[in-house]
Amino acid sequence: MIAVKQALVQVFPRVYKIKGKLATRSLTPGFKVHGERLHEINGVEYREWNPHQSKLAAAIACGLRELPIREGSRVLYLGAAQGATASFVSDIIGEKGVVYCVEIAPRAAADLIKVCEKRENMIPIIADARKPSEYASEVRKVDVVFEDVADPQQAEILKANAVFLKNKGIAMLAVKARSVSSVEQPRKVFEKVKSELASVFELIQEIDISKFEKDHEMLVLRKP
């Protein structure tokens, strides 16, 4: 634990900077998810959020204008992996929110379940994000869908899961150009993905996060 005397700088509600590093107030003090540094300010624990290890943090660091994930939000997280970024979402939404964590890889899912056991607002769903019918009975309407899935059909996966999104709800898609196509230029891939999503979503912002994740872009979209 690192004791920090300086005041927090708020970036978004429930998201801060401490000595220039992104952080969230820990919902489970003393519990680390992926070896993150812990800071204590006025008796409160904060977790350092590394944009090199989280595409959502990278989007914030690279100029996200508005964070749609807020206290009390219901979030569907596609591709939750071991639960690292989802745990920061858990911090942001607090006890009144919920994050449905969809992951199919057995090894990652095993780690995800351990994290969810420590956080009551995280619900593990071991399923294929390409088949939302598999978990339709477990997920209520959500405010935000966040997708971080390495699959050539990233756009189709997001469209299929839009059924869970409220009207005027927000989707965030971490586009992995090399997962979509290993031969096309990343910019062409990004344009192709945006075109595929145009029939379902309105584009709000696109953010180049290649500073932290090579050949990646974050799309922020709204369901009409």
The 10s digit of each residue's pLDDT in 4-58 is: 555 789 999 999 999 999 999 999 999 999 999 999 998 999 999 999 999 999 9
Task: Write down the pLDDT at residue 182.
Answer: 67
pTM: 0.94
Task: Write down the pLDDT at residue 219.
Answer: 98
* Whether the Cβ atoms of residue 113 and residue 141 lie closer than 8 Å to each other: no
* For the chain, domain boundaries: 2-48, 64-222
Question: Which amino acid, 200?
Answer: V
| pLDDT tens, position by position, 180-197 | 776 678 789 899 999 999
Q: Over pLDDT 70: what percentage of the chain? A: 96
DSSP 147-198: E----TTHHHHHHHHGGGEEEEEEEEEEEEHHHH-SSS-HHHHHHHHHHHHT
Q: Which fold has domain 2-48?
A: Phosphorylase Kinase; domain 1 (3.30.200)
Task: Write down the pLDDT at residue 178.
Answer: 79
Report the alpha-carbon angle 25-82-145, nearest 5: 70
* Whether the Cβ atoms of residue 147 and residue 180 lie closer than 8 Å to each other: no
Question: Which amino acid, 87?
Answer: S
**In CATH, which superfamily holds the domain spanning 64-222?**
Vaccinia Virus protein VP39 (3.40.50.150)
Same fold, 2-48 and 64-222: no
With cut-offs at 50, 70 and 90, classify the pLDDT of residue 76: very high
